[in-house]
Structure 1
Amino acid sequence: MTKQLEGKIAIVTGAASGMGKSITELFTREGAKVIAADRDNKVSEIWDSDQNAIPIIADITDSKDINRIVETAKEKFGGLDAVLNVAGINDLNYPLFDTDDERWNKVMDIDLKAPFRLIRRALPIMIENGGGSIVNIGSYAALRGNHGPSYTAAKAGLVGLTRSIAFTYGRSGIRCNIVHPGGVDTNISDNSGTNYHSEGQKSLSAIIQAMPVKYFAKPTEIANICLFLCSDKATWVNGAAISVDGGMSTC
């Protein structure tokens, strides 16, 4: 069987766990060389022994680390074909009145500003390579507004960023799409700090009860969509927002 990503070079953020880890696993199996980036030190333990992956301990809110990630792809593998912005946190359902500037800024820095900076740094290399695929991980919250304002606004902003890049750089061979997962079995809550806001979580839980499915997706179910978007099977998919949520966004 032909590997779908044979010869491709990709950057995956959040590669130490959850969706990022599953995407990295799938991409390396499908023939890609992957720069596996995460702020968690265990990214090295996971990927050190994989000849198709280079682990990088990096803080994606730091421009120097963003540069280091992209430069490693070019220096070690010779180019770049795909960027997957997976790393993120949520706002633990804190409503507006309880969202201080610190929480707002932290969510925006990781969920919106970091993808913007990584894409901005990676685009020249991808264009020089003849084009490539960018996949941003959004959230069904961007479509419904049922999380707190910082997470909802950051993911909605990521939709706008995706469309702008798709429109501007499509003529340069760049495809940029966004995937909106629903609930996924990951450790995003652990990475987000403290506890969920009691009233915010109560409101979201009531909505979840009305949804057609009441289970979390496996990270591999999101990884499969990302594989398609970065493969040659998706050459005419650009600027798309794809819900992968078991029907949650129908509610």
Structure 2
Amino acid sequence: MNLTNLVIIPARGGSKRLPGKNLKVLGEIPLIQHSINYALAAGLLIDTIVVSTDSDAIAAVAKNCGVKVVKRPAQLSGDHEPVISAMQHVIDSLSDSYENVILLQPTNPLRPENLLKESLESFESSKVDSLMTVDFLKEKFGKIMGDKFVPENYIMGQRSQDLPQLYRENGLLYITKVGEILKGNILAENNFAMVVDHPYSRVDIDDSTDFKFAQLLLETHAS
């Protein structure tokens, strides 16, 4: 069967910097479930939701939520294995064909409510092969050369409000044509950058500090 939108949520069981990360409870549910619930809330916009994992515990959470699970083999579950390999494995494992893949990373658990709907609309209307989310880069950054700090995006002493308008890939979601995924590309040459100016775009959980920041934002947003 030919379908349109496939959501893939890749969630390994291992995490060195924050052990058990994808199952840690954030706002009363496991971290992985935030992305699952977000995809489920999109309703008819999504044809199929798949969690790709090597973990039986993560698979159990996904199945309890009513979404498909594709068990990831050990050779695709290492610390240095790129996410594109898990996405290709999911596509190869399914009997149905799809036009688009939507990547929701569990490490970005908080997303603006209408982001997925708006992203799909922009993706279709722009007639692109991929879409990524970005936000404004507000920091002053540079390199250390020897012992000296050398600014990259500003002149020393320049006011923050006068910085050039630069953007940062924030990982909230990606949409990509299946053909590009099969070629090994999450982002195609014909790519659309969707600007998302929201506090949630700053959440990317890699360690305990990131997790605490996500907890604080979630509590603040709920209050």
> TM-score under structure 2 normalisation?
0.40
Which is greater in Rg? 2
Larger relative contact order (Cα-Cα within 8 Å, sequence gap ≥ 6): 2
Greater share of residues in helix? 1
Greater share of residues in strand? 2
> TM-score under structure 1 normalisation?
0.37
